[in-house]
Amino acid sequence: MLDARTTTWPGKAAFLKRILPRQSATNTAEQVVLIDGSVLANAPFRPAIDALKDRPARRQIDRRFVYIDPSPGMKFRLPPQDGTPGFFQTIIGAISELPRQQPIRDNLDAIAARSAQIDRMRAIVDAIRPDVEAEVESLFGHTLFLNRPTAARLVAWRARAQKAAAASAGYGYAAYGHLKVAGVVETLTGLLYHAGGEPGPERWARIRAAIATTVTASGAEAIGAAHGGGASAETIAFLRRFDLSFRIRRLRLMARRLTVLEADVDEAGLAPIRDAIYVALSAYLECQRADKHTELRHAVRSLRGDATALLHALGQSLDLARLDAETDVRLADAFAALDKPVRRSMLLAYLGFPYFDTATLPLLQGEGLDEFDPIKVDRIAPDDAVAIRSGGAEATLKGIQFNSFGAFFSRAYRENDYLWGRLHGAERMIDITVSTLPASVRMKPGRVAAIKRAAFVAILDEEEGRLTAIPALFADLRREIG
């Protein structure tokens, strides 16, 4: 453009060196592609929500979905005529606001729905726990809790509990069993699809059809009262080789029970079983990563029809029999190290899992949520940070003018909004951290306010020498902070 206008830019080299130092050093600054940040503002939530299933917790956590909204509820403003929206204000508002805001609302609704579903599942588990524990105690008798758990005993106890749960569920077990097999087929499809590295819905459908056909032909869908234990030998063998989700759900249930016990049991007394649960959980979760099975890429890409050989190779790559044996040893040692009351509670959860899973999986339509804790949503926005100044974006930000382009035209505006962004962010992160405390824990009056004040002062001290266009704002903030 400069050449077309026969215009020179004497400071061009210095500008590029300052703005793009790495690219300038390699003489590639003029080939850099610049992308407007609004590509994230338009619909940032869906990719993050989709990534949740690929980022399951490997330890006890408080899962948060935190997003930044610098001007919640703001509308594009043009001076109205006669107090009513004019032509341009209406048209530009419809174009600029609706496409950007609505996806966020939809995605937040999706998070809320998922969290509500988890809450319902937890409520169901809590409601049926007394009956399940009574069933387990009736099945094994009190001698179970006097015996020292060993890996071999855990295997035998687990098989016995599984068979009893199938018998108790009656004809409902068939629906549960088919949901489990269908879920495993979907899991294997996703794993192989990503391991193959060839995107596209047709490729996904082709892999799924091949796996489903092979599974049906193997007899792995023979489930019901006609089979001992509710399932055929082929079904049991298939699930033992591939049902990762079942193992993960069992460990999640144990982790949830552990969290409940923490209110009454010393943390050191729970350390052995906590470590065993999360080490085992991490190992199973690693199996869900497609990059752990890249050696199958060629086999996936060359899949045509029968998937028997591919499933055999995947079974070897997963090697769940080895992981199960290691987990049994780890859990047996942890159970043996617990005090008897804690051991009893954790064993009841462990052996009662088939009962819980049979009851909840159909209600969840086969999804079988891996997480037993809902996702909490936290917003970082001027409206939520009122420790220094209330009034939200209108009272603090300058760049909200001209549909949030106001700061493009004033360095003072940019410095103002940057400083307020740091202050608002610090306050909200303190609020979010404090909100993770258990309901039974209370901080001393004024403690949170003191922490916030210290953070605010530290930010002002750090930025005052750099932000030279807004000296009056620093004076006002120090006075307001006190």
* Per-residue three-class SS string for the chain: CCCCCCCCCCCHHHHHHHHCHHHHHCCCHHHCCCCCCHHHHHCCHHHHHHHHCCCCCCCCCCCEEEEECCCCCCCCCCCCECCECCHHHHHHHHHHHHHHHHHHHHHHHHHHHHHHHHHHHHHHHHHHHHHHHHHHHHHHCHHHHCCCCCHHHHHHHHHHHHHHHHHHHCCHHHHHHHHHHHHHHHHHHHHHHHHHCCCCHHHHHHHHHHHHHHHHHHCCCCECCCCHHHECHHHHHHHHHHCHHHHHHHHHHHHHHHHHHCCCCCHHHHHHHHHHHHHHHHHHHHHCCHHHHHHHHHHHHCCCCCCHHHHHHHHHHHCHHHHHHHHHHHHHHHHHHCCHHHHHHHHHHHHHHHHHHHHHCCCCCCCCCCCCCCCEEEEECHHHCCCCCCCHHHHHCCCCHHHHCHHHHCHHHHHHHHHHHHHHHHHHHHHHHHCCCCCCCCCCCCHHHHHHHHHHHHHHHHHCCCCCCCHHHHHHHHHHHC
Confidence band (pLDDT; 50, 70, 90) for 276? very high
User: What average pLDDT does range 252-272 have in this prediction?
Assistant: 85
- Which of the residue ranges 93-102, 145-154, 448-457, 471-480 would you say has the lowest mean pLDDT? 93-102
In one-letter notation, the amino acid at residue 246 is F
Give the pLDDT confidence of 345-389 residue by residue, as tens digits.
999 999 999 999 888 887 766 454 555 567 788 889 999 999 999
Task: Report yes or no on whether pTM surpasses 0.85.
Answer: no
**Residue showing tokens 């005529």:** 81
Give the pLDDT confidence of 171-182 residue by residue, as tens digits.
788 888 888 899
Q: How many CA atoms lie within 13 A of 73 on its CB side?
A: 9
pLDDT at 227 over 80: no
pLDDT at 335 over 70: yes
pLDDT reported for residue 99: 44
Q: How far apart are CA 433 and CA 409, in angstroms?
A: 36
pLDDT at 143 over 70: no
pLDDT at 252 over 60: yes
pLDDT at 404 over 90: no
pLDDT at 94 over 80: no
pLDDT at 165 over 70: yes
The two three-digit tokens of residue 217, written as one number: 């032909």
User: What average pLDDT does range 5-21 have in this prediction?
Assistant: 91
The two three-digit tokens of residue 31, written as one number: 């080939």
Mean pLDDT for all residues in the chain: 84
Percent of the chain with pLDDT over 70: 83
Q: At what angle do helices 233-242 and 201-218 cross, to 10 degrees?
A: 140
Confidence band (pLDDT; 50, 70, 90) for 442? confident
Which residues sit opposite 84 in a β-bridge? 81
- Which of the residue ranges 5-9, 18-22, 96-100 would you say has the lowest mean pLDDT? 96-100
Confidence band (pLDDT; 50, 70, 90) for 97? very low
Q: How far apart are CA 406 and CA 356, in angstroms?
A: 56
pLDDT at 101 over 60: no
pLDDT at 392 over 80: yes
Confidence band (pLDDT; 50, 70, 90) for 284? very high
pLDDT reported for residue 124: 84
pLDDT at 316 over 70: yes
pLDDT reported for residue 76: 47
Confidence band (pLDDT; 50, 70, 90) for 84? low
Q: At what angle do helices 233-242 and 172-196 cross, to 10 degrees?
A: 40
Q: How far apart are CA 92 and CA 201, in angstroms?
A: 36
User: What average pLDDT does range 197-226 have in this prediction?
Assistant: 86
Compare 78 and 382 and report the one with higher pLDDT. 382
pLDDT at 58 over 70: no
In this structure, how many other beta carbons lie within 10 angstroms of the beta carbon of residue 262?
Answer: 14
pLDDT reported for residue 224: 67
Confidence band (pLDDT; 50, 70, 90) for 82? low
Q: How far apart are CA 244 and CA 317, in angstroms?
A: 13
